[in-house]
Amino acid sequence: MCKMLMSIEDGQELVILQQDIAHVCEAMLAFPLRFPWTRFYKGLKARKRIMSTLEKIMAERRRCSLPNNQQDFLQHLMIGNDDKSCSEQVSRLTDSEIKDNILTMIIAGQDTTASAITWMVKFLGENQNVLDRLYAEQFHIADKTSKRPFVNLEDLNEMPYASKVVKESLRLASIVPWFPRLSLDECEIEGFKIMKGWNINIDAKSIHLDPILYEEPNTFNPSRFDDDSKPYSFVAFGMGGRTCLGMNMARAMMLVFLHRLVTTYKWKVIDSDSSIEKWALFSRLRTGCPIHVTRMNTN
Ligand code: HEM
């Protein structure tokens, strides 16, 4: 995410950023107590450090004149912001909004996609029949992709079964298990009265495991998506006005990863424990899903 958003790929700056982002995520679940030893306090401090790093990066880019820098997300936000030729009617983001957007994107895009990929590797490692079908599709495409350095959008469109593997992994893992809403008006849903001002949590995990919506909901079966899903039955990326902004990117990342993984490596899950980390914003495997990986002999 840091590479795509602001071209930071390695080095000490990235290590510190990652640690600080982990502190911010932990603080989001913590009781808001501002004592130096609390998770909440450490998260606030970490957020401050992240913001000053972003300020430094933005100042540096302005000093070196914007257009010559790399074309990343931060750059686009800054060009919009600094371009005085733009009409005054266009509402621009303030520096503080740019920094907030970058932090939001890192938090929303990093652990979610990483966790989803981890679950997908686990599910596939445990379901040889699905893997065999996936091999057939992916090796067919590999004839083309192995001759190019990148997998392109056209290739991704030729992966119907892999797309179902991605979707089924997201359903079964429910990376964002619930998301909150505020009721703006009194209403009634299926006999339940909901009052104005109530906080409501949408329980995505229960929806994804509902036997009325999904036959044998605990079985990993990508082919269940051969037919169209029932409305509102798949909410891995949310629904409505606040649907995930990065869902197509996340899907593409998962497909590219899947393609490279199954056409290059064999792996074996060595700890199939499915318990979830308690103190995590997103549904993440406690073990991290250790696997044995070997490179395939392609000769
Ligand atoms: C597998 C990966 C991902 C999953 C499961 C996921 C899931 C979600 C869900 C469920 C929501 C809606 C929350 C709500 O309605 O309250 C959401 C919102 C959001 N996601 Fe993702 N996401 C993923 C990847 C990404 C990526 C890669 C990015 C950024 C590039 C991203 C950026 C966002 C943003 C900015 C929002 C807030 C949208 C808004 O409130 O208008 N997500 N995501």
Taking the CB of residue 62, how many other CB atoms lie within 10 A of it?
12
Tell me, what's the pLDDT at 229?
84
Tell me, what's the pLDDT at 249?
94
The number of the ligand 1 atom at minimal distance from the alpha carbon of 4 is: 30
Tell me, what's the pLDDT at 116?
97
The band of 134, judged by pLDDT with boundaries at 50, 70 and 90, is very high
Question: What average pLDDT does this structure show over 251-265?
Answer: 95
- Per the CB < 8 A criterion, the answer to whether 138 and 262 are in contact is yes
The band of 267, judged by pLDDT with boundaries at 50, 70 and 90, is very high
In the chain, what are the domains?
A: 1-93 (no CATH), 109-299 (1.10.630.10)
Tell me, what's the pLDDT at 69?
56
Q: Atom 43 (ligand 1): residue with closest C-alpha? A: 244
Spatial separation of the C-alpha atoms in residues 102 and 255, rounded to whole Å? 24
Half-sphere exposure of residue 213: CA atoms within 13 angstroms, side-chain side: 19
Q: Atom 6 (ligand 1): residue with closest C-alpha? A: 237
Listed residue (59, 74, 67, 52) closest to 8, CA to CA: 74
Task: Identify any residues that bridge with 134 across adjacent strands, giving them in sequence order.
Answer: none
Tell me, what's the pLDDT at 292?
95
Spatial separation of the C-alpha atoms in residues 46 and 95, rounded to whole Å? 19
The band of 298, judged by pLDDT with boundaries at 50, 70 and 90, is low
pTM comes to 0.90
The band of 24, judged by pLDDT with boundaries at 50, 70 and 90, is very high
Question: What average pLDDT does this structure show over 67-76?
Answer: 76
The band of 176, judged by pLDDT with boundaries at 50, 70 and 90, is very high
DSSP symbols for 30-83? S-----TTSHHHHHHHHHHHHHHHHHHHHHHHHHT-GGGS--SHHHHHHHHHH-
* Poorest-pLDDT segment among 74-83, 141-150, 195-204, 233-242: 74-83
Q: What lines the ligand 1 site, CB under 6 Å?
A: 104-105, 108-109, 112-113, 116, 170, 175-176, 179, 236-238, 242, 244-246, 249-250
Q: Which residue has the higher pLDDT, 170 or 111?
A: 170
The number of the ligand 1 atom at minimal distance from the alpha carbon of 175 is: 5
**Centroid of ligand 1 to alpha carbon of 208 (angstroms):** 17
Q: Which residue has the higher pLDDT, 61 or 257?
A: 257
45, pLDDT greater than 80: yes
The band of 125, judged by pLDDT with boundaries at 50, 70 and 90, is very high
Q: Atom 16 (ligand 1): residue with closest C-alpha? A: 179
Tell me, what's the pLDDT at 120?
97
Q: Which residue has the higher pLDDT, 39 or 281?
A: 39
What are the pLDDT digits (tens) for 185-222? 999 999 999 999 999 999 999 999 999 999 999 999 99
Query: Which residue matches tokens 């999904």?
Result: 214
The number of the ligand 1 atom at minimal distance from the alpha carbon of 181 is: 16
Question: What average pLDDT does this structure show over 87-115?
Answer: 87
- Per the CB < 8 A criterion, the answer to whether 151 and 251 are in contact is no
**Centroid of ligand 1 to alpha carbon of 29 (angstroms):** 17
Q: Mean pLDDT: which of 86-90, 115-119, 142-146 is highest?
A: 115-119
Pocket test for ligand 1, best of 4, 247, 255, 283 (most atoms within 8 A of CB): 247
Q: Which residue has the higher pLDDT, 229 or 23?
A: 23
What are the pLDDT digits (tens) for 144-170? 888 888 899 999 999 999 999 999 999
Q: How many angstroms from the chain centroid is the CA of residue 203?
A: 18
Query: Which residue matches tokens 């995505």?
Result: 204
Tell me, what's the pLDDT at 81?
64
Tell me, what's the pLDDT at 52?
96
